[in-house]
Structure 1
Amino acid sequence: MSFENEWREWHRAREGYAGAEYGPAALESTNWLITEPAAVEGVPGLWALTGDGAIRGSELGASGAVVTLRGAETIRFGRRELRVFDRRGDLALRVFNPRRPQRERFSAIDAYPPREGWRIAAVFEPAQGEIITITAVDGRQHESEIAGRLRFELDGIPRSLVVTRNGQGALSAVFADGTNGIETYRFRFLTVEEPAPDGRAWIDFNRAYLPPCAFSDQYLCPQPPDENRYTSSIRAGERAVVLGG
Protein backbone atom coordinates (compact mmCIF):
# COMPACT_ATOMS: atom_id res chain seq x y z
CA MET A 1 0.00 0.00 0.00
CA SER A 2 1.31 3.47 -0.89
CA PHE A 3 2.22 6.13 1.68
CA GLU A 4 -0.89 8.15 0.82
CA ASN A 5 -3.26 5.16 0.88
CA GLU A 6 -1.89 4.04 4.24
CA TRP A 7 -2.55 7.50 5.62
CA ARG A 8 -6.09 7.55 4.24
CA GLU A 9 -6.82 4.18 5.89
CA TRP A 10 -5.50 5.57 9.17
CA HIS A 11 -7.62 8.71 8.78
CA ARG A 12 -10.78 6.73 8.03
CA ALA A 13 -10.18 4.61 11.14
CA ARG A 14 -9.71 7.75 13.24
CA GLU A 15 -12.98 9.23 12.01
CA GLY A 16 -14.77 5.95 12.69
CA TYR A 17 -13.43 5.88 16.23
CA ALA A 18 -14.19 9.55 16.91
CA GLY A 19 -17.78 9.34 15.70
CA ALA A 20 -18.61 5.93 17.20
CA GLU A 21 -21.75 5.62 19.26
CA TYR A 22 -19.79 5.57 22.52
CA GLY A 23 -16.64 7.22 21.18
CA PRO A 24 -14.96 10.35 22.56
CA ALA A 25 -17.60 12.74 21.21
CA ALA A 26 -20.22 10.99 23.36
CA LEU A 27 -18.67 11.97 26.72
CA GLU A 28 -21.37 14.04 28.41
CA SER A 29 -19.97 14.53 31.92
CA THR A 30 -17.15 13.66 34.30
CA ASN A 31 -18.47 13.58 37.87
CA TRP A 32 -16.09 13.68 40.82
CA LEU A 33 -17.71 11.89 43.72
CA ILE A 34 -17.31 11.66 47.49
CA THR A 35 -18.42 8.98 49.96
CA GLU A 36 -21.71 10.82 50.50
CA PRO A 37 -24.26 9.68 47.86
CA ALA A 38 -25.22 12.36 45.33
CA ALA A 39 -27.31 12.64 42.18
CA VAL A 40 -25.67 12.63 38.74
CA GLU A 41 -27.47 14.53 35.99
CA GLY A 42 -29.23 12.31 33.47
CA VAL A 43 -28.65 9.11 35.47
CA PRO A 44 -31.03 7.47 37.97
CA GLY A 45 -30.14 6.87 41.62
CA LEU A 46 -27.46 8.22 43.90
CA TRP A 47 -23.72 7.70 43.38
CA ALA A 48 -20.76 7.66 45.75
CA LEU A 49 -17.25 6.35 46.30
CA THR A 50 -17.06 3.12 48.25
CA GLY A 51 -13.67 3.81 49.78
CA ASP A 52 -12.10 0.68 48.26
CA GLY A 53 -11.49 1.82 44.68
CA ALA A 54 -15.03 1.49 43.35
CA ILE A 55 -18.16 3.57 42.68
CA ARG A 56 -21.56 2.51 43.97
CA GLY A 57 -25.00 3.47 42.71
CA SER A 58 -28.00 3.08 44.99
CA GLU A 59 -31.76 3.71 44.93
CA LEU A 60 -31.86 2.63 41.30
CA GLY A 61 -35.55 2.41 40.50
CA ALA A 62 -38.50 1.32 42.59
CA SER A 63 -36.68 -1.79 43.84
CA GLY A 64 -33.87 0.31 45.32
CA ALA A 65 -31.27 -1.78 43.48
CA VAL A 66 -27.57 -1.24 44.16
CA VAL A 67 -24.70 -1.61 41.66
CA THR A 68 -20.95 -1.34 42.10
CA LEU A 69 -18.56 -0.34 39.32
CA ARG A 70 -14.80 -0.78 39.38
CA GLY A 71 -12.01 -0.88 36.83
CA ALA A 72 -13.21 -1.34 33.26
CA GLU A 73 -16.78 -2.31 34.24
CA THR A 74 -19.65 -0.37 32.63
CA ILE A 75 -23.40 -0.16 33.01
CA ARG A 76 -26.11 1.34 30.82
CA PHE A 77 -29.29 3.17 31.71
CA GLY A 78 -31.24 3.58 28.49
CA ARG A 79 -28.73 4.91 25.95
CA ARG A 80 -26.34 6.38 28.52
CA GLU A 81 -23.28 4.35 29.51
CA LEU A 82 -21.45 4.81 32.81
CA ARG A 83 -17.73 4.17 33.24
CA VAL A 84 -15.21 4.63 36.03
CA PHE A 85 -12.44 7.16 35.40
CA ASP A 86 -9.36 6.67 37.57
CA ARG A 87 -7.07 9.68 37.74
CA ARG A 88 -4.11 8.44 39.74
CA GLY A 89 -6.34 7.13 42.49
CA ASP A 90 -9.05 9.80 42.30
CA LEU A 91 -12.25 8.30 40.89
CA ALA A 92 -14.95 9.93 38.80
CA LEU A 93 -18.10 8.63 37.14
CA ARG A 94 -18.17 9.33 33.44
CA VAL A 95 -21.41 9.43 31.49
CA PHE A 96 -21.40 8.72 27.75
CA ASN A 97 -24.48 9.68 25.75
CA PRO A 98 -24.75 8.86 22.02
CA ARG A 99 -27.43 11.56 21.82
CA ARG A 100 -25.07 14.28 22.99
CA PRO A 101 -25.54 17.02 20.34
CA GLN A 102 -21.83 17.22 19.51
CA ARG A 103 -21.73 13.49 18.78
CA GLU A 104 -24.88 13.54 16.68
CA ARG A 105 -23.49 16.48 14.70
CA PHE A 106 -20.02 14.96 14.28
CA SER A 107 -19.27 14.87 10.56
CA ALA A 108 -15.52 14.42 10.06
CA ILE A 109 -12.02 15.30 11.19
CA ASP A 110 -10.46 17.98 9.04
CA ALA A 111 -6.82 17.17 8.25
CA TYR A 112 -3.97 18.39 6.09
CA PRO A 113 -3.26 16.32 2.95
CA PRO A 114 -0.52 13.75 3.66
CA ARG A 115 2.99 14.72 2.60
CA GLU A 116 6.02 12.48 2.84
CA GLY A 117 8.10 15.55 3.68
CA TRP A 118 6.44 15.61 7.12
CA ARG A 119 7.90 12.19 7.90
CA ILE A 120 11.10 13.47 9.46
CA ALA A 121 14.25 11.55 10.35
CA ALA A 122 15.25 11.75 14.03
CA VAL A 123 17.64 10.28 16.57
CA PHE A 124 16.27 8.86 19.80
CA GLU A 125 18.14 9.59 23.03
CA PRO A 126 16.79 7.52 25.94
CA ALA A 127 16.46 9.21 29.32
CA GLN A 128 17.42 7.62 32.61
CA GLY A 129 15.02 8.47 35.42
CA GLU A 130 14.32 12.02 34.21
CA ILE A 131 11.08 13.48 35.58
CA ILE A 132 9.06 16.35 34.13
CA THR A 133 5.89 18.09 35.33
CA ILE A 134 2.79 17.54 33.20
CA THR A 135 -0.09 20.02 33.45
CA ALA A 136 -3.60 18.94 32.45
CA VAL A 137 -6.14 21.26 30.84
CA ASP A 138 -7.80 21.84 34.23
CA GLY A 139 -4.49 22.98 35.74
CA ARG A 140 -3.77 19.87 37.78
CA GLN A 141 -0.14 18.76 37.67
CA HIS A 142 1.65 15.46 38.11
CA GLU A 143 5.19 14.19 37.73
CA SER A 144 5.96 11.83 34.86
CA GLU A 145 9.08 9.92 33.90
CA ILE A 146 10.03 10.49 30.28
CA ALA A 147 11.26 7.78 27.93
CA GLY A 148 13.65 10.09 26.12
CA ARG A 149 13.99 12.72 23.39
CA LEU A 150 13.87 12.62 19.65
CA ARG A 151 16.36 15.01 18.06
CA PHE A 152 15.37 16.35 14.64
CA GLU A 153 15.39 19.48 12.51
CA LEU A 154 12.38 21.67 11.77
CA ASP A 155 12.79 24.53 9.28
CA GLY A 156 16.54 23.97 9.52
CA ILE A 157 16.57 24.49 13.30
CA PRO A 158 17.58 21.67 15.70
CA ARG A 159 14.60 20.61 17.82
CA SER A 160 13.75 17.97 20.38
CA LEU A 161 10.53 16.09 21.09
CA VAL A 162 10.02 14.73 24.61
CA VAL A 163 8.30 11.34 24.55
CA THR A 164 6.79 9.11 27.22
CA ARG A 165 5.48 5.55 27.17
CA ASN A 166 1.70 5.24 26.96
CA GLY A 167 -0.39 2.49 28.54
CA GLN A 168 0.38 0.16 25.62
CA GLY A 169 4.13 0.77 25.89
CA ALA A 170 4.40 2.87 22.73
CA LEU A 171 6.29 6.14 22.53
CA SER A 172 3.94 9.11 22.51
CA ALA A 173 4.13 12.88 22.68
CA VAL A 174 1.98 15.97 23.14
CA PHE A 175 3.08 18.98 21.10
CA ALA A 176 2.01 22.48 20.13
CA ASP A 177 3.01 24.53 17.10
CA GLY A 178 2.38 27.76 15.24
CA THR A 179 -0.87 26.58 13.67
CA ASN A 180 -2.67 26.09 17.01
CA GLY A 181 -5.73 28.25 17.54
CA ILE A 182 -5.65 29.39 13.91
CA GLU A 183 -5.59 26.32 11.66
CA THR A 184 -5.59 23.54 14.25
CA TYR A 185 -6.75 22.67 17.75
CA ARG A 186 -4.73 24.10 20.68
CA PHE A 187 -2.34 21.09 20.77
CA ARG A 188 -2.10 17.60 19.33
CA PHE A 189 -1.01 14.07 20.21
CA LEU A 190 1.44 11.89 18.31
CA THR A 191 2.46 8.24 18.53
CA VAL A 192 6.04 7.53 17.43
CA GLU A 193 7.35 4.35 15.84
CA GLU A 194 9.82 2.40 17.98
CA PRO A 195 13.38 3.53 17.13
CA ALA A 196 15.97 1.16 15.66
CA PRO A 197 18.58 -0.31 18.06
CA ASP A 198 21.07 2.37 16.97
CA GLY A 199 18.60 5.16 17.79
CA ARG A 200 17.50 6.00 14.27
CA ALA A 201 13.83 6.96 14.24
CA TRP A 202 11.09 8.70 12.29
CA ILE A 203 8.60 11.33 13.41
CA ASP A 204 5.55 11.21 11.15
CA PHE A 205 3.66 14.44 11.77
CA ASN A 206 1.07 13.28 9.20
CA ARG A 207 -0.21 11.07 12.03
CA ALA A 208 -0.60 13.92 14.52
CA TYR A 209 -4.08 13.55 15.97
CA LEU A 210 -6.59 15.50 18.02
CA PRO A 211 -6.69 14.84 21.77
CA PRO A 212 -9.97 13.60 23.28
CA CYS A 213 -10.68 17.07 24.72
CA ALA A 214 -11.13 18.32 21.14
CA PHE A 215 -14.29 16.20 21.03
CA SER A 216 -15.58 16.89 24.57
CA ASP A 217 -14.48 19.42 27.18
CA GLN A 218 -15.14 16.76 29.83
CA TYR A 219 -11.77 15.13 29.11
CA LEU A 220 -8.71 16.16 31.14
CA CYS A 221 -5.96 15.97 28.55
CA PRO A 222 -2.29 16.58 29.33
CA GLN A 223 -0.83 19.70 27.75
CA PRO A 224 2.53 19.85 25.95
CA PRO A 225 5.66 20.35 28.06
CA ASP A 226 7.58 23.53 27.22
CA GLU A 227 10.16 21.59 25.21
CA ASN A 228 7.43 20.37 22.85
CA ARG A 229 6.08 23.84 22.03
CA TYR A 230 7.29 25.07 18.64
CA THR A 231 6.86 28.47 17.01
CA SER A 232 7.17 26.87 13.57
CA SER A 233 3.97 25.76 11.84
CA ILE A 234 3.52 22.02 11.41
CA ARG A 235 0.93 21.77 8.66
CA ALA A 236 0.43 18.03 8.90
CA GLY A 237 -2.01 15.68 10.60
CA GLU A 238 -5.45 16.37 12.02
CA ARG A 239 -6.67 19.94 12.28
CA ALA A 240 -10.13 20.18 13.85
CA VAL A 241 -13.46 18.47 14.48
CA VAL A 242 -16.07 19.10 11.78
CA LEU A 243 -19.67 19.39 12.96
CA GLY A 244 -22.61 19.24 10.57
CA GLY A 245 -25.73 21.34 10.78
Structure 2
Amino acid sequence: MRFLIFLILGAFALGCAQDKQPILGKTAFQKRLNAEFRDATKSPLTDKDRKGFKGLSFFEVDSSYVVTATLQRTPDSPWFLMKTTTDRESKERVYGVLKFQLKGEFYELKVYQGEELMAQEEYQDYLFLPFLDATNGTESYGGGRYIDLRIPEGDHLTIDFNTAYNPYCAYNEKYSCPIVPRYNYLDTEIRAGVKAYKKK
Protein backbone atom coordinates (compact mmCIF):
# COMPACT_ATOMS: atom_id res chain seq x y z
CA MET A 1 0.00 0.00 0.00
CA ARG A 2 2.77 2.42 0.98
CA PHE A 3 4.63 1.61 -2.24
CA LEU A 4 1.48 2.42 -4.26
CA ILE A 5 1.13 5.80 -2.52
CA PHE A 6 4.78 6.67 -3.31
CA LEU A 7 4.21 5.61 -6.91
CA ILE A 8 1.16 7.87 -7.24
CA LEU A 9 2.94 10.82 -5.59
CA GLY A 10 5.96 10.33 -7.84
CA ALA A 11 3.83 10.31 -10.96
CA PHE A 12 2.00 13.48 -9.78
CA ALA A 13 5.29 15.30 -9.13
CA LEU A 14 6.61 14.30 -12.54
CA GLY A 15 3.45 15.59 -14.20
CA CYS A 16 3.74 18.93 -12.39
CA ALA A 17 7.39 19.26 -13.42
CA GLN A 18 6.44 18.64 -17.04
CA ASP A 19 3.66 21.26 -16.87
CA LYS A 20 6.04 23.88 -15.54
CA GLN A 21 8.00 24.74 -18.66
CA PRO A 22 11.28 26.67 -18.28
CA ILE A 23 11.35 30.34 -19.31
CA LEU A 24 12.93 30.53 -22.76
CA GLY A 25 15.38 33.21 -23.84
CA LYS A 26 19.08 33.81 -24.48
CA THR A 27 19.29 37.14 -22.62
CA ALA A 28 17.80 38.62 -19.45
CA PHE A 29 15.58 40.83 -21.65
CA GLN A 30 14.20 37.86 -23.60
CA LYS A 31 13.56 35.82 -20.44
CA ARG A 32 11.83 38.74 -18.71
CA LEU A 33 9.58 39.35 -21.72
CA ASN A 34 8.66 35.68 -22.05
CA ALA A 35 7.94 35.48 -18.32
CA GLU A 36 5.61 38.48 -18.54
CA PHE A 37 3.78 36.99 -21.51
CA ARG A 38 3.16 33.78 -19.57
CA ASP A 39 1.90 35.66 -16.51
CA ALA A 40 -1.89 36.07 -16.67
CA THR A 41 -1.68 39.31 -14.65
CA LYS A 42 0.78 40.96 -17.08
CA SER A 43 0.38 39.27 -20.46
CA PRO A 44 -1.15 41.18 -23.40
CA LEU A 45 -2.13 37.86 -24.96
CA THR A 46 -5.71 36.66 -24.96
CA ASP A 47 -6.39 33.79 -22.55
CA LYS A 48 -6.63 31.43 -25.51
CA ASP A 49 -3.28 32.46 -27.00
CA ARG A 50 -1.55 32.50 -23.62
CA LYS A 51 -2.45 28.87 -22.93
CA GLY A 52 -0.50 27.76 -25.99
CA PHE A 53 2.31 30.30 -25.56
CA LYS A 54 5.85 28.92 -25.32
CA GLY A 55 7.94 31.96 -26.15
CA LEU A 56 8.30 34.95 -28.45
CA SER A 57 10.39 34.80 -31.60
CA PHE A 58 13.53 36.94 -31.54
CA PHE A 59 16.19 37.82 -34.06
CA GLU A 60 19.61 36.47 -33.14
CA VAL A 61 21.34 38.70 -30.62
CA ASP A 62 23.77 40.88 -32.57
CA SER A 63 26.22 43.26 -30.88
CA SER A 64 26.44 45.38 -34.04
CA TYR A 65 22.95 46.63 -33.18
CA VAL A 66 24.16 48.12 -29.91
CA VAL A 67 25.12 51.73 -30.65
CA THR A 68 26.19 54.82 -28.72
CA ALA A 69 24.03 57.79 -29.65
CA THR A 70 24.57 61.50 -29.11
CA LEU A 71 21.54 63.10 -27.47
CA GLN A 72 20.68 66.57 -28.72
CA ARG A 73 18.12 67.80 -26.19
CA THR A 74 15.17 69.98 -27.27
CA PRO A 75 14.11 71.59 -23.96
CA ASP A 76 11.61 74.02 -25.50
CA SER A 77 9.72 71.49 -27.60
CA PRO A 78 5.93 71.84 -27.34
CA TRP A 79 3.57 69.15 -26.08
CA PHE A 80 1.48 67.47 -28.77
CA LEU A 81 -1.09 64.71 -29.02
CA MET A 82 0.45 61.54 -30.46
CA LYS A 83 -2.06 59.43 -32.35
CA THR A 84 -2.67 55.85 -31.25
CA THR A 85 -4.36 52.81 -32.78
CA THR A 86 -7.63 53.87 -31.11
CA ASP A 87 -9.33 57.22 -30.54
CA ARG A 88 -7.10 57.84 -27.54
CA GLU A 89 -4.29 60.36 -27.92
CA SER A 90 -1.11 60.41 -25.84
CA LYS A 91 0.32 63.76 -24.73
CA GLU A 92 4.01 63.69 -25.64
CA ARG A 93 6.90 65.97 -26.42
CA VAL A 94 10.15 65.45 -28.24
CA TYR A 95 12.76 65.20 -25.51
CA GLY A 96 15.59 65.22 -28.01
CA VAL A 97 17.14 63.81 -31.16
CA LEU A 98 19.39 60.77 -31.05
CA LYS A 99 22.18 60.73 -33.63
CA PHE A 100 24.18 57.57 -34.17
CA GLN A 101 26.08 55.43 -36.63
CA LEU A 102 24.89 51.92 -37.49
CA LYS A 103 26.91 49.64 -39.75
CA GLY A 104 28.72 52.56 -41.34
CA GLU A 105 25.64 54.72 -41.94
CA PHE A 106 24.41 57.74 -39.97
CA TYR A 107 20.86 57.94 -38.64
CA GLU A 108 18.78 59.98 -36.27
CA LEU A 109 15.62 59.31 -34.28
CA LYS A 110 13.43 61.50 -32.14
CA VAL A 111 12.97 60.27 -28.58
CA TYR A 112 9.83 61.17 -26.65
CA GLN A 113 8.68 61.92 -23.13
CA GLY A 114 5.08 61.33 -22.03
CA GLU A 115 3.33 63.73 -19.68
CA GLU A 116 1.29 61.01 -17.97
CA LEU A 117 4.30 58.82 -17.23
CA MET A 118 6.32 61.76 -15.93
CA ALA A 119 3.85 62.06 -13.06
CA GLN A 120 4.87 58.60 -11.81
CA GLU A 121 8.03 58.54 -9.73
CA GLU A 122 9.46 55.39 -11.30
CA TYR A 123 9.06 56.85 -14.81
CA GLN A 124 10.23 60.42 -14.27
CA ASP A 125 13.40 59.72 -16.28
CA TYR A 126 11.73 57.43 -18.83
CA LEU A 127 12.16 58.03 -22.56
CA PHE A 128 10.12 56.41 -25.31
CA LEU A 129 11.84 55.46 -28.58
CA PRO A 130 9.43 54.20 -31.26
CA PHE A 131 10.86 53.35 -34.68
CA LEU A 132 10.09 51.85 -38.06
CA ASP A 133 12.50 49.95 -40.30
CA ALA A 134 12.69 47.91 -43.48
CA THR A 135 11.74 44.63 -41.77
CA ASN A 136 8.26 45.88 -40.81
CA GLY A 137 5.48 43.83 -42.31
CA THR A 138 7.74 40.91 -43.14
CA GLU A 139 10.04 39.75 -40.35
CA SER A 140 8.86 42.27 -37.75
CA TYR A 141 5.53 43.81 -36.77
CA GLY A 142 4.11 46.10 -39.46
CA GLY A 143 3.41 48.96 -37.08
CA GLY A 144 7.00 49.30 -35.88
CA ARG A 145 8.61 48.59 -32.54
CA TYR A 146 9.54 50.37 -29.30
CA ILE A 147 12.64 50.67 -27.10
CA ASP A 148 12.64 51.85 -23.49
CA LEU A 149 15.36 54.32 -22.48
CA ARG A 150 16.29 56.43 -19.47
CA ILE A 151 17.49 60.04 -19.43
CA PRO A 152 21.31 59.97 -19.23
CA GLU A 153 23.39 62.27 -17.06
CA GLY A 154 25.47 63.37 -20.04
CA ASP A 155 24.84 63.74 -23.76
CA HIS A 156 25.30 60.12 -24.78
CA LEU A 157 23.26 57.01 -24.28
CA THR A 158 23.26 53.41 -25.52
CA ILE A 159 20.57 52.15 -27.87
CA ASP A 160 20.36 48.37 -27.85
CA PHE A 161 18.11 47.34 -30.73
CA ASN A 162 18.22 43.78 -29.37
CA THR A 163 15.72 45.05 -26.78
CA ALA A 164 13.23 46.33 -29.38
CA TYR A 165 9.75 45.00 -28.61
CA ASN A 166 6.32 45.03 -30.22
CA PRO A 167 3.47 47.25 -29.02
CA TYR A 168 0.75 45.31 -27.18
CA CYS A 169 -1.71 45.82 -30.04
CA ALA A 170 0.47 43.43 -32.09
CA TYR A 171 -0.92 40.69 -29.84
CA ASN A 172 -4.37 41.92 -28.87
CA GLU A 173 -6.52 44.54 -30.58
CA LYS A 174 -8.07 45.69 -27.30
CA TYR A 175 -4.92 47.74 -26.56
CA SER A 176 -4.30 51.34 -27.58
CA CYS A 177 -0.76 51.81 -28.89
CA PRO A 178 1.08 54.99 -29.97
CA ILE A 179 1.60 55.11 -33.73
CA VAL A 180 5.26 55.52 -34.67
CA PRO A 181 5.85 58.97 -36.24
CA ARG A 182 7.05 58.71 -39.85
CA TYR A 183 10.13 60.77 -38.95
CA ASN A 184 11.41 57.76 -37.02
CA TYR A 185 11.75 55.52 -40.05
CA LEU A 186 15.18 53.91 -40.44
CA ASP A 187 15.89 53.11 -44.07
CA THR A 188 17.62 49.86 -43.22
CA GLU A 189 16.80 46.44 -41.80
CA ILE A 190 16.96 46.27 -38.01
CA ARG A 191 17.29 42.52 -37.63
CA ALA A 192 17.36 42.61 -33.86
CA GLY A 193 14.82 42.40 -31.07
CA VAL A 194 11.37 40.83 -31.18
CA LYS A 195 10.06 39.43 -34.46
CA ALA A 196 6.48 39.56 -35.73
CA TYR A 197 4.04 37.56 -33.62
CA LYS A 198 2.48 34.56 -35.29
CA LYS A 199 -0.24 32.65 -33.52
CA LYS A 200 0.51 28.95 -33.25
- Which bracket does the TM-score occupy, shorter chain normalised? 0.7 to 0.9
2:28 maps to amino acid: E
1:209 aligned residue (162, 165, 184): 165
1:190 maps to 2:137: no
**1:104 maps to which residue?**
51
Q: Report the alpha carbon displacement of residue 140 of structure 1 after superposing the two structures with TM.
A: 5.0
Q: Report the alpha carbon displacement of residue 155 of structure 1 after superposing the two structures with TM.
A: 4.6
In 2, the alpha carbon distance for the partners of 1:119 and 1:190 equals: 12
Do 2:84 and 2:179's aligned partners in 1 also have CA atoms closer than 8 Å?
yes
Q: Report the alpha carbon displacement of residue 7 of structure 1 after superposing the two structures with TM.
A: 6.1
Structure with the bigger percentage of helix: 2
Structure with the bigger percentage of strand: 1
- Change beyond 3 A, Cα 1:7–1:196: farther
**2:73 maps to which residue?**
126
Structure number with the bigger relative contact order (C-alpha 8 A, sep ≥ 6) is 2
Structure 1: unaligned runs, 5 residues or longer:
1-5, 28-99
Provide the alpha-carbon RMSD of the alignment. Answer: 2.2
Do 1:19 and 1:25's aligned partners in 2 also have CA atoms closer than 8 Å?
no
Question: Alpha-carbon deviations, 1:118-155, whole Å to 9, x = none?
Answer: 11111001112313552211365455222111111235
In 1, the alpha carbon distance for the partners of 2:103 and 2:54 equals: 33
Alignment of 1:38-57 (within 5 A): none
- Change beyond 3 A, Cα 1:7–1:228: farther
**1:163 maps to which residue?**
111
- Change beyond 3 A, Cα 1:8–1:142: closer
Aligned length: 166
**2:102 maps to which residue?**
154
Do 2:90 and 2:178's aligned partners in 1 also have CA atoms closer than 8 Å?
no
Do 1:107 and 1:243's aligned partners in 2 also have CA atoms closer than 8 Å?
no
Runs of 4+ in structure 1 off by over 6 angstroms are none
1:173 aligned residue (105, 129, 133): 129
**2:190 maps to which residue?**
234
